[in-house]
Amino acid sequence: MSDVATATTALMDFRPYAHWIMLLPMIGFLLELLIGKYWWRKGGMFATLSILGSVIISYGCLYNVYVQHLGFWEYSWDWFYPGIVAGFTIDPLSLAMLCMVSFISFFIHFYAIGYMSHDCAKNVYFAETALFTGSMFGLVLANNLLQLFIFWEMVGVCSYLLIGFWWHKPEAAAAGKKAWMSCAVGDCLFLLGIAMMYTIMVKQGITTEIISFNNIFQNLEHLSHETIFGMSALTIICILFMCGVLGKSAGFPLHVWIPDAMEGPTTVSALIHAATMVTAGVYLIARAFPIFLAAPNALMIVAFMGAFTALYASTLGLVVNDLKRIFAYSTISQLGYMIAILGCGAVLGVAAVAYALFHLVAHAFFKALLFLSSGSVLHGIGNVRDIKEMGGLLKGMPWTGYAMLAGALALIAFPFTAGYYSKDKVIEEAYIYAVHDGGLGYLPWIFLVLGVILTATYTFRAWYLAMTGEPRSYPAIRPHECGFWMKTTLVVLSVFALGLGFLTADWSKGIISGLFSGGAKFWHFLEETFVHETHTASGVVYEGLNLHDIALLGGNTLMEHGAHPPQWVILLPLILMIAGLAIATMVYYKNRVDVSKYVKKDNPLYQILWNKYYLDYIFKDIIAEKIIMTVFTFWDVLDRYVIDGVVNLMSWITIQSGQVSRKLQTGVVQNYATAVIFGVSMLMILVIMLRGGL
């Protein structure tokens, strides 16, 4: 009987097959690229079906760990250099990401079957998104830094290719390059950080699984004594990792690529630049959280950078007119919230990871929904992206309009939507961090709170201008509603954007308490990460970590559980959200205020926002075009005329001396005679001088 039960359990154990989550979409990529063109609808089937396979295995693993309590699992194979492995890890952190990525990626592929139906290179599009999805799974499953970095770059290259999918548009090609370059600046530093981590791990005498996360966590106590240039090695490594995060997760000042990345197909913006790839940076900090915790001051930098980005980007969202770019700035801002709360982990401990991940998952649903519904708008009115040329679309495309409304409500954290539970919790916990740290520690919380009012305003500015009022351009008069594939996806994502909180609520406390405890189950599950043991296929068991001790290594003291912020702190984001919503309603729906008075060329504030704080100008016009262009033009001159000049000079001298000696060969006997006599007499003089004669 127990044998049968064991056999059944073994049969149902999906954890040893976790690598197939990554491999299936890769196979889908190959099939789509090679034979996708000749099958159903000329592309899309292999990619979508292979990702469905990933969905099944991902949720199977979730079932194993969450319902069956089979424990966290890790396995690896030797890869190339000694101690560098290809490893896969299944724990709450990776499961949360896997389930979100597979689910959303599947539905975005489903949507794309309709959205890309008129494109002639459909199979290439689906091949690239399948490769992207597989790489994203590889990133999430990675049990070591190098594998994470490898797939980190792979998702980057897919992002590059998909942004430039319509390669014939010069701006799309330029946007792809800009995305890669912004990330490359961070990535080279990230790689340097990995090299440093490798070095200090080898220094501990570790020969297997050298840069595996769990192995690093076990050795943090020794690693914290290492120094580089007199500073804590861990802090330097964490700062270098943070540079990678700023590139990929669009933190200030490397965020400049995301708005331009909107040149790609909208499904790409939804999949890559809203829901999945850009959260890779947040995932990296979450995955390496104990390292950040053990590194003095590292999490403080994370908190400040995140909170500043959150506020900074939401100010930019106020003035942009491109529908997709508004949501792009909101993505940057929301990623800032996630990074900021991870930084607050210096006080909150692993709970911060849980809060960040819940906001990440909730954000993935509602932001994907917002992008897909704006994709539907673009599809319906002939690729007009300027909200000034929309208006009154709700009548023509109600499904799209209400789906976008659902997403917008979740984004501004309207009560009982997913964002309400995720974002308000982030702000409350940031307050606890502020109280605990005091002084400057209040800054992240203040930034995050101010971001709330701006978020509500710019989100509903976009929704009101696009959906209500009178049509302001010809295409907006007769929009056409999207078809079956797209509509289905919008409905599914709307349900999750509105109801994700209820899904994770703790109903055991009763209906009313349950209503206010959305996210509880999710947080409790995620808080088990790091503190519970991980089993490996090779038999090694990584003990659960004592995060309090690890925090002490970095000079952080974790707070005990159960602190509650005062009631006004809990209500403040709600009030500010309503205020922001009211402003947007007054200005853009009721038209009580004439904004054109302020939106003018001579308004310096508007000018600064419109020019994105001149950051693009500094990067592109000054650094890229002036400085680097000048440097390399100079470099070319150096190469051509100085270094090669020396070479040519030497050959010229040789040739000239050859010319001179050739002139001597005149063939006239007298000349030779003269030369011989001259030479002999010189030789005689020399001999006599040497012998000391004369």
Write down the least CB distance from residue 304 to other proteins, Å.
25
Task: Name the token pair of 638.
Answer: 């150096």
Q: Which is nearer to other proteins, 207 or 666 (CB)?
A: 207
* b/e map 50-68, b = 16+ CB within 10 Å: bbebbbebbbbbbebbbee
Dump the DSSP string for 235-262.
Answer: HHHHHHHHHHHHHHTT-TTGGGHHHHGG
How far is it, in rounded angstroms, from Cα 378 to Cα 262?
A: 12
Write down the least CB distance from residue 616 to other proteins, Å.
17
Task: Name the token pair of 533.
Answer: 């043991």
Write down the least CB distance from residue 378 to other proteins, Å.
22
* b/e map 593-602, b = 16+ CB within 10 Å: eeeeeeeeee
> Mapping DSSP to helix (H, G, I), strand (E, B) and coil, where does residue 75 land?
strand
Write down the least CB distance from residue 125 to other proteins, Å.
14
Q: Which is nearer to other proteins, 203 or 480 (CB)?
A: 203
Write down the least CB distance from residue 181 to other proteins, Å.
6
| Residue 357 CB neighbours (<10 A) | 28
Q: State the number of CA atoms in the 13 A half-sphere of 118 facing the CB.
A: 4
Residues in the chain: 694
- β-sheet bridge partners, residue 121: none
**Chain contacts with other proteins (rule: CB under 8 A):** 80-83, 146, 149-151, 153-154, 157, 160-161, 164, 167-170, 172-174, 176-177, 180-181, 184-185, 187-189, 191-192, 194-196, 198-199, 202-203, 207, 228, 628, 631-633, 635-636, 639, 643-644, 647, 651
Q: Which is nearer to other proteins, 618 or 686 (CB)?
A: 618
Dump the DSSP string for 423-448.
Answer: HHHHHHHHHHHHHHH-GGGHHHHHHH
Q: Which is nearer to other proteins, 172 or 462 (CB)?
A: 172
Query: Distance from CA of residue 246 to its chain's centroid?
Result: 8
| Helix and strand element counts for the chain (H, E) | 32, 6
Write down the least CB distance from residue 80 to other proteins, Å.
5
Q: Which is nearer to other proteins, 158 or 354 (CB)?
A: 158
Write down the least CB distance from residue 301 to other proteins, Å.
20
How far is it, in rounded angstroms, from Cα 475 to Cα 613?
A: 33
Task: Name the token pair of 394.
Answer: 């709700």
Task: Name the token pair of 364.
Answer: 């993935």
Q: Which is nearer to other proteins, 196 or 537 (CB)?
A: 196
Q: Which is nearer to other proteins, 254 or 381 (CB)?
A: 254
Q: Which is nearer to other proteins, 170 or 438 (CB)?
A: 170
Write down the least CB distance from residue 606 to other proteins, Å.
33
Residues 6+ apart with CB under 8 A from 304: 343, 443, 444
**Cα torsion at 128, 129, 134, 139 (round to 10°)?**
100
* b/e map 181-198, b = 16+ CB within 10 Å: bbbebbbebbbbbbebbb
Q: Which is nearer to other proteins, 203 or 590 (CB)?
A: 203
Q: Which is nearer to other proteins, 287 or 359 (CB)?
A: 287
Write down the least CB distance from residue 16 to other proteins, Å.
21
Q: Which is nearer to other proteins, 87 or 114 (CB)?
A: 87
DSSP state at residue 589: I
Q: Which is nearer to other proteins, 81 or 678 (CB)?
A: 81
Q: Which is nearer to other proteins, 176 or 290 (CB)?
A: 176
Task: Name the token pair of 84.
Answer: 């560098």
Q: Which is nearer to other proteins, 157 or 615 (CB)?
A: 157
Write down the least CB distance from residue 157 to other proteins, Å.
6
Write down the least CB distance from residue 259 to other proteins, Å.
19
Write down the least CB distance from residue 306 to other proteins, Å.
23
- 381-384 contacts: CB < 8 A, separation 24 or more? 381/475, 381/476, 381/479, 382/475, 384/473, 384/475, 384/476
Write down the least CB distance from residue 629 to other proteins, Å.
8
Residues 6+ apart with CB under 8 A from 515: 416, 502, 505
Write down the least CB distance from residue 187 to other proteins, Å.
7
Write down the least CB distance from residue 553 to other proteins, Å.
22
* b/e map 312-325, b = 16+ CB within 10 Å: bbbbbbebbbbbbb
Q: Which is nearer to other proteins, 42 or 177 (CB)?
A: 177
Task: Name the token pair of 491.
Answer: 């409905």
How far is it, in rounded angstroms, from Cα 607 to Cα 613?
A: 8
How far is it, in rounded angstroms, from Cα 372 to Cα 305?
A: 29
How far is it, in rounded angstroms, from Cα 59 to Cα 282?
A: 22
